[in-house]
């Protein structure tokens, strides 16, 4: 887009590097770009001069000045379809709504449309960045009605299997740090329910792949990511001497 939208785009960082640069580039149309580093892994990483950095939720809140807040994970990018859809909403000021939209999954040369949608955009005043029940970043905006936009707003990128292990470890650390800050615990029922649901969402995704095994591998990676998040959360709590089960 030629004009900036009055949105603060927050990327929840995990490992930095190429993934973070790609995510930031996809929101170049936002008036503000911020990197939220909940696990504190990027303190020494060089960021573009116009990108703000926050390691704590309080820092993040104090730096957001745009009237709207959009959140995405480091492994995601905003699609070209989304800004034209958001423009009339954020300019005219639909201030009593938070907005959800769907995601596409790009993995191993295939693209699938994942079912469901998550809340990623809301007025910035009173809005927090959280990890939702599906273990992806969301906006928490109490009192606002939810509206789903019929657009694929985000693309989730899965790397090659050679890089997936390192990236899943980084993603798990970032999500676990946010869950721990929010006082969440890795209850057994969550460990039993969330990973299978993550894998099932991929198996139910709409789209075609040239390789039949691609969908199953992608589903396994997403399910394992959820396991890693809860394992990292347990590890953090155990190291702090807190009861975690």
DSSP string, 131-191: E-TTSSEEEE-TTPEEEEEEEEEEEEEE--HHHHHHHHHHHHHHHHHHHHHTT----HHHH
Entry pTM: 0.92
Answer yes or no: do 181 and 215 share one domain.
yes
DSSP, collapsed to helix, strand or coil, labels residue 89 as helix
Answer yes or no: do 182 and 199 share one domain.
yes
Find out whether 127 and 99 touch, Cβ atoms under 8 Å: no
Answer yes or no: do 48 and 135 share one domain.
yes
- Predicted confidence at residue 230, as pLDDT, reads 93
- Predicted confidence at residue 211, as pLDDT, reads 62
In whole angstroms, give the CA distance from residue 30 to residue 9.
Answer: 6
pLDDT digits over 17-32, tens only?
999 999 999 999 999 9
Number of domains within the chain: 2
- Predicted confidence at residue 208, as pLDDT, reads 64
In CATH, what number is assigned to the domain containing residue 122?
3.90.550.10
Answer yes or no: do 113 and 129 share one domain.
yes
The CB density around residue 44, as the number of other CB atoms within 10 Å, is 6
Please name every residue paired with 172 in a beta bridge, in sequence order, or none if there are none.
Answer: none
Answer yes or no: do 25 and 135 share one domain.
yes
**Tokens 């990483």, located at residue:** 45
CA 50 to chain CA centroid, Å, is 21
Query: Which residue range(s) make up the domain with 194?
Result: 161-239
Answer yes or no: do 152 and 110 share one domain.
yes
The stretches in the chain having pLDDT less than 50 are: none
- Predicted confidence at residue 228, as pLDDT, reads 94
pLDDT digits over 72-110, tens only?
999 999 999 999 999 998 877 666 789 999 999 988 778
* Cα dist from 86 to 61, 63, 124, 168, whole Å: 22, 22, 15, 30
């Amino acid at each position: 887009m030629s004009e900036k939208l009055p949105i603060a785009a927050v990327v929840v960082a995990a490992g930095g590097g190429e993934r973070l640069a790609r995510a930031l580039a996809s929101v170049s149309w936002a008036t503000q770009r911020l990197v939220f580093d909940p696990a504190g892994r990027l303190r020494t990483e060089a960021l573009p001069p116009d990108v703000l950095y926050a390691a704590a939720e309080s820092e993040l809140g104090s730096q957001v000045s745009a009237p709207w807040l959009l959140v995405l994970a480091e492994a995601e990018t905003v699609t070209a379809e989304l800004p034209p859809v958001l423009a009339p909403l954020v300019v005219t000021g639909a201030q009593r709504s938070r907005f959800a939209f769907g995601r596409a999954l790009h993995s191993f040369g295939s693209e699938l449309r994942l079912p469901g949608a998550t809340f990623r955009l809301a007025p910035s005043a009173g809005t927090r960045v959280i990890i939702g029940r599906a273990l992806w970043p969301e906006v928490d905006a109490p009192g606002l009605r939810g509206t789903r936009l019929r657009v694929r707003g985000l693309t989730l990128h899965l790397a090659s299997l050679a890089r997936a292990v390192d990236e899943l470890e980084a993603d798990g650390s970032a999500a676990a740090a946010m869950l721990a800050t929010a006082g969440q615990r890795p209850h057994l029922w969550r460990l039993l329910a969330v990973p299978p649901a993550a894998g099932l969402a991929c198996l139910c995704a709409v789209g075609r792949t040239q390789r039949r095994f691609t969908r199953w591998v992608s589903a396994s990676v997403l399910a394992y990511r959820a396991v890693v998040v809860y394992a990292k959360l347990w590890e953090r709590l155990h190291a702090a001497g807190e009861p975690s089960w």
